[in-house]
Structure 1
Amino acid sequence: MKRGKLAMMITSFILIFSVPAGCGKTADAPGNTNGNLSNGGLAVLQDEWVYFSKFEEGSIKLYKIKTDGSGEAKVSDAAAMYLNAAGDWIYYIDGMEYKMYKVKTDGTGKSKLSDDLTASMAVLNDWIYYINLGGKTVNPKLCKIRTDGSEMTELGGDTPSAFSIDGGWIYFVNASDESRLYRMKTDGTKKEKLGDDTVTAMIADDGWIYYISSGDSKFYKMKTDGTGKAAVGDDTATLMNVDGGWIYYANGSDEDRLYKMKTDGSGKAKVSDDLAAGINIAGDWIYYINFSMETFSMKQIKIKTDGTGRTEIADLSAQPAQTEYGEIYDVEDEITVGDITYTFGTAYATNVMRSSTDPAFDAAIFFDETEEVYLFINVTATNNGSKAAKIGTYSFGLGEEYEGSVIVSFCRLADANLATLATDQFTEWMTLEPGQTAEYKLFFTPQHVNNAYKVYLYESTMEMPDYTTAVATVKDIKAEVELYTTRGKAFAVLQERFPESKIEEGGAFGYRMEADPADKVYYLFKVHGADSTMQYYFVKQETGEIYIGSYDENRPDFPAVPRELLEQK
């Protein structure tokens, strides 16, 4: 379930885009610990200040706070992640652009360092080491660049999915060799393989490499020369942080709750019952994202390393108030770029993703949802020229001004299904013959309700999109909204009706009642009474109504089906 644009950013950057990287503790001057950078670099300690990424207002902002908890202040509105502190500067990746920036610790002097699309970065002395996703390289490559943005240099020819720097060596998970561990010098020389284990996460720290094996999802360590391999503890995990002789991790053996243990596997202790992701350490504090499947909430938390002082920093689940049902909005605008004319037809927004993207809203089953809205705009492209034209991956921006717009993509209408929308695979090029017309659907990731948007059209090349010049502008678009009950709201409806009962979610599926013309989506819940009884209830996605459920022998694949509408109090 998507929980809106902010949740997508978190998933994208902490769990997916968060390619582990960083600087181990060396005699050099690292910009952050390797462990933090392995978890998105959401916090960094410098002297008496903690600089951290704070989730607020549907985005990420750069903040700072003193280690004693005083003096919290915003440094920048930038969506800053992979934070590295060096001198008077904070180096970071902008989470909206995937590009490297730096800004002074007082918020002044912001400047872009490179146009390379970047996943993961680590500052060491006057160099920035990073994974280059595009630009001057074809496949992702490990590169370095001066902290002033000069002397971009490619290091080696492999594709890394994770890297750490320790003692003059770069340790990396080599995606070119099935995610096995390698190392090379920081100038790219003396590459060598360290072992045959396949790895999902790794951190080099103080002469050791700590990693999670993809084979059994357990912890191991080895010396940085590849010798001395040993198991660490017996828990499973998908992410970890190493700091001060301790491993902090989401314990897969206990539903991803926050734990710690010493680097030799002793001293295991639960830090919090929270389900944790994006674990960052700054002094005596742990910063992390807590997912709660009981309340359908997502919060940014900090807690002392001994488990005390739990403090909520931000509620990522908070959403703006939403409007009632709306209608399709006619854009009816047309622009021409070169020989191609783009005709904009209708625009609509909804908080569910459908099995069909038909703008007439005649699809029956909805597979995904958000507490905000998805925005769709229907477009046709016509080749008015005398030669064939290749089109496909064009980019659009949303925002009141070009500099503040969000870059998104669109695909052919025939390709606009859940699978492609969910994976952002809108990259097929197609050829328009002279006079030929093709249909497209612009798809914008969750946006706030009631916002008016300008849509800017930019041309793209087959190598890299060019976002520098607005070729043409469409008038302001304010799409009307059609809203449905989300899982979170369904849970809240049942909590209000049964305040003294324990409620468990049981999934969502399509079912056609006798009065329904087609299958509708119902959310299934178990409601446990005080007398130890249990009753199945369903909440209808379309209306938010509660239905009593029971087993149906004709539907043995369902634990229950909706039977009758629960009378309102």
Structure 2
Amino acid sequence: MALPIITGFDKGDTMKRILTSIFAFMLVLSLLTGCGKKPVIPDDDDDPIPTEFTAKVIGNTSGNLMNGGQYAEAGGWVYYSSETFDESTLTIATGLFKMKSDGSSLVKLADGAYRSINVVGDDLYALTQDGVFTMKIDGAAGRILPGISADPMGMILVLDETIVFLTQSGEIYRNSIDGKNPKELADVNAYGFYYQDGWLYYGINDASYTIRKVKMDGSSTTDVSTGGRDFVFADKRIYYRNMMDNANLYSMAMDGSDVKKISDVDVNSINTDGRKLIVSSFTGVRVLNFDGSDDTVLSDEYAVTLSIAGDFAYFVSQDFSPQHNKLSLSSGTLENILKVRRIDPQNDVVMGSGISDPYIVRMGDWIVYRDSGELTKGIYKVKTDKTSKTKLIDAYAHNLTLIGDWIYFVNDSLNNYLCRMKIDGSEKGVVIDLPVNDFVMKDGWIYYTDLNEIKIMRAKMDGTLISVIDDSDALGEIKLSQDFIYYQTIGMEAGNFGIHRIALDATRKFTYLDDSIQSFIVDTEWIYYTTKVSENELPMQIVRMNLDGSQSVVMDYFDEYVNVIGVGDGMLYFETWKNEAGSVNRMNPESGQRQLVFTSDLRNDHTVIFENNLITLKNNEDGSVNVYLSDLDGNNRLLIVE
């Protein structure tokens, strides 16, 4: 189990914005429902909290809450919000779980995403998109607390029967658990807070990086320091990132005096297990004594946030497709804990290269396509006579390949992993549990671009025997012709954006062009590509070049944008567009004669050639799609999917 995927962030921004993409929706929802309104303070404010309030039970540690609060430990149990792999649907689901501190006795408590988890006695509290949620620690009696107008993207801290929370504007309030005693503690724009020895310390989003403290009855507001962010409490001191010194690790006394530099490493997250400091930096996850000595790198993975429970640190590494990690603080052992089971190794080999396209493919009477609508997302199949439309998987996907009776695809809902399923939707499985951009297949091998390594790799059809084909910065489309891969590289150095090829056995690498190529296709004898004529966006041109690169000729010039589509019945098909208007056209490669096939909204349309037909996938504003089928000359155009 692991933390939810947390996107990269600037720790100079509001800490409370550290969230998974799941919580991006929460702000909109809270605005619509009004849960971000300021609490209404009763006229007769009989404050039950004395000035010298002392909390007996505190719901979570400062380090965990400052890092998002997805983990909390109490009574030998770890309570956490995590993503898990659903093998039946090839998707990731999120839930609330508990387990013993040693990782045993795992129990799922609820579905959904939770943050700022607090545990007080037999009660658990957490932020959700609907407000402050509470349940018993056995999962019973779950409900939303009334009268607590907390920002669902913020922070809560439960102290006995009192809850402290942020509004959407960053003001700090407290209330009783029953919601009947609201009290404003700080009218500021705060990113976080924590209780220590009768004071509530809080950090302000201002140019000075101010840290203040206030009594729990709202009195005695006192400046503690400036220049510090993302503070935690340990060893009777405050540890923080000094934003006036490159976010280096500092500490100070509880009143802001006795400032000490602990490390000259810039850190992005701080936590503690009570015995040592655990911090993350661009050099990895480090553990060190409170005085900065014995600084040791436990892992070279870059942690976005850092939670501590028991003898383990839990974090998500910063990568194109983040890895969920559990790090032993004693041994340094690192484990990827979002366990995605791959398909079992297999001996069967499907010969040929299959039929591929980023969005839509056809085999015989079947059309297989992807839909990216929020309510309609998935991979579907439908017959060319409009019948038997079937949803095969409920996931965002791209790069579909039909080979044998299998559909291989990149699963955008599962970290861009390469997956497969039977054409009837059965036997779903993960082939390569690494982020893939594009891939082609031939004779039992998969050739793909790895989004982490930015290299061309190859693997067997069951995902085994992975090796590097080309270590160039290849990140564009891969095209297959005979025994060669054709591709583009992405970057700023010479040769990038041009067309390259390499043999399937990783030999005979060849660069055709060091130019900015907009689109290209590879036919049996020719490469067709589009490029700008000059540094200006327009005009553009279509160029034909033979496969050894020895000859090239400009086929035509265009005062509009142009992409090549493919070759069918001896004709080159291409699309042109400018402003709102576009069209699909074809050209005789020998004579250069052009012919309009049909007009199209090319900002949203994708047209391909399959089996003497043109198939067009039209993306609607809501992400849903329509599918059209026509002859190669544009006649007999039929709406297959409405």
Q: How does 1:16-165 map to 2 (within 5 A)?
A: 18-19=15-16, 28-57=56-85, 58-94=92-128, 97=129, 99-113=131-145, 114-118=148-152, 119-133=154-168, 139-165=169-195
- Separation in 2 of the partners of 1:260 and 1:151? 42
Correspondence 1:300 to 2:324? yes
Secondary structure of 1:248 counterpart: strand
Deviations 1:355-374 (A, max 9, x none): xxxxxxxxxxxxxxxxxx85
Report the CA distance shift for 1:188/1:263 in structure 2 as closer, same or farther (over 3 A). same
Amino acid at match of 1:536: S
**Structure 1, gaps ≥5 residues long:** 1-5, 134-138, 328-348, 351-372, 377-397, 399-446, 452-475, 508-526
Shift of 1:316: 8.2
- Separation in 2 of the partners of 1:480 and 1:84? 33
CA RMSD, 1 decimal:
4.4
Which structure's residues are more often helix, by fraction? 1
Correspondence 1:563 to 2:499? yes
Percentage of identical aligned residues: 21
- Separation in 1 of the partners of 2:489 and 2:326? 43
1:196 equivalent in structure 2: 226
- Separation in 1 of the partners of 2:114 and 2:222? 34
Is the contact made by 1:219 and 1:235 (CA closer than 8 Å) also made in structure 2?
yes
Secondary structure of 2:261 counterpart: strand
Shift of 1:229: 0.5
2:241 equivalent in structure 1: 212
- Separation in 1 of the partners of 2:308 and 2:496? 45
Shift of 1:27: 6.6
Shift of 1:375: 3.4
Amino acid at match of 1:208: R
Shift of 1:268: 0.9
Correspondence 1:505 to 2:454? yes
Amino acid at match of 2:496: A
- Separation in 2 of the partners of 1:132 and 1:121? 10
- Separation in 1 of the partners of 2:62 and 2:480? 47
Shift of 1:207: 3.1
Q: TM-score scaled to structure 1, two decimals? A: 0.57
- Separation in 2 of the partners of 1:122 and 1:246? 23
Correspondence 1:222 to 2:252? yes
Secondary structure of 1:187 counterpart: coil
- Separation in 2 of the partners of 1:222 and 1:194? 10
- Separation in 2 of the partners of 1:88 and 1:488? 41
Is the contact made by 1:162 and 1:172 (CA closer than 8 Å) also made in structure 2?
yes
- Separation in 2 of the partners of 1:262 and 1:125? 31
Secondary structure of 1:561 counterpart: coil
Secondary structure of 1:19 counterpart: helix
Bigger radius of gyration = 2
Q: How does 1:416-435 map to 2 (within 5 A)?
A: none
Q: How does 1:400-549 map to 2 (within 5 A)?
A: 449-450=378-379, 483-484=398-399, 488-490=435-437, 504-505=453-454, 536=472, 538-541=474-477, 546-547=485-486
- Separation in 2 of the partners of 1:528 and 1:450? 30
Amino acid at match of 2:497: V
Deviations 1:381-423 (A, max 9, x none): xxxxxxxxxxxxxxxxx6xxxxxxxxxxxxxxxxxxxxxxxxx
- Separation in 2 of the partners of 1:190 and 1:218? 30
Amino acid at match of 2:198: G
Correspondence 1:311 to 2:329? no
Secondary structure of 2:192 counterpart: strand
1:260 equivalent in structure 2: 287
- Separation in 1 of the partners of 2:340 and 2:12? 16
Correspondence 1:182 to 2:121? no
Is the contact made by 2:163 and 2:174 (CA closer than 8 Å) also made in structure 1?
yes
Secondary structure of 1:298 counterpart: coil
**Structure 2, gaps ≥5 residues long:** 19-53, 86-91, 344-355, 362-368, 381-390, 400-409, 411-415, 417-433, 457-466, 506-642
Correspondence 1:167 to 2:235? no
Is the contact made by 1:166 and 1:205 (CA closer than 8 Å) also made in structure 2?
no
- Separation in 2 of the partners of 1:150 and 1:30? 20
Amino acid at match of 1:19: K
Task: Please say which of residues 541-550 and 148-157 is displaced more in the overlay.
Answer: 541-550
Report the CA distance shift for 1:234/1:177 in structure 2 as closer, same or farther (over 3 A). closer
- Separation in 1 of the partners of 2:10 and 2:95? 14
Q: TM-score scaled to structure 2, two decimals? A: 0.51
Structure possessing the higher relative contact order (Cα contacts under 8 Å, 6 or more residues apart) = 1
Shift of 1:488: 2.7
Shift of 1:220: 0.7
Shift of 1:91: 0.5
Report the CA distance shift for 1:490/1:116 in structure 2 as closer, same or farther (over 3 A). closer
Report the CA distance shift for 1:483/1:306 in structure 2 as closer, same or farther (over 3 A). same
Shift of 1:275: 2.3
1:375 equivalent in structure 2: 373
Aligned residues: 379
Amino acid at match of 1:488: P
